[in-house]
Chains A and B, each alone.
Chain A
Amino acid sequence: DTGVSQNPRHKITKRGQNVTFRCDPISEHNRLYWYRQTLGQGPEFLTYFQNEAQLEKSRLLSDRFSAERPKGSFSTLEIQRTEQGDSAMYLCASSLSVGLAHIQYFGAGTRLSVL
């Protein structure tokens, strides 16, 4: 399977704990995106990378959230001191940066439940 891979698929944590999610993009894609989706809403942009450079962060993104893509391949999204409002589906997507760059391919997501 050469699609976008996200781990874990589900994460249950207690309020105040830190969590980290991993995303492995399609191998030839140099752009990687993180989105968050809550019930009844469309995915909401969080941040994106081109290679290892983080090019944009949503102004809605709390400073408890941090993302890295250290070698321009996989990426991690960390949430510190989780709150119940962080409960959501976290989606990762990847794309090329030229040609069909507008088409993003999504992973299956990590569902976070904060108790």
Chain B
Amino acid sequence: DQQVKQNSPSLSVQEGRISILNCDYTNSMFDYFLWYKKYPAEGPTFLISISSIKDKNEDGRFTVFLNKSAKHLSLHIVPSQPGDSAVYFCAASEDKLIFGTGTRLQVFP
């Protein structure tokens, strides 16, 4: 039973446009949600998080939106850059992290 789901395995976006990555969860008791970025042969790198009591958190080009009624969160990257090309993982926190399966983002010129 997968508690955190990323239903899009891949996404391709043109440089300068918006990238939107989506994530769904099933457990309403999660207290934080996080996004990590992963390059090949490296560990996940923390990007941004959001508390379950918030609906939006912004950090530079990255914004995370949380819709608790829909049990859905999304990561917006604006503007997208080629260096953003990586695998993005959504995670939910209950002390340990529960990860989705990731979305591979490719930003092309």
Contacts and interface: CB of A to CB of B under 8 A. Distances in A.
How many interface residues does chain B have, given as a range?
20 to 34
Nearest to A45: B96
Contact of A43 (B41, B46, B49, B89): B89
B16 interface: no
Contacts, number: 55
Contacts of B101: 40-42
Interface string A39-55: 01111110010000001
B6 to A, nearest CB: 8
B32 interface: yes
Nearest to A46: B96
Contacts of A105: 46
Contacts of B25: none
A40 B32 CA distance: 24
Interface string B8-32: 0000000000000000000000011
A57 to B, nearest CB: 10
Contacts of A93: 43, 97
A102 interface: yes
Interface of A: 4, 6, 33, 35, 40-45, 48, 55-56, 91, 93, 102-109
6 contacts: A42-B100, A43-B44, A45-B97, A93-B97, A102-B93, A103-B49
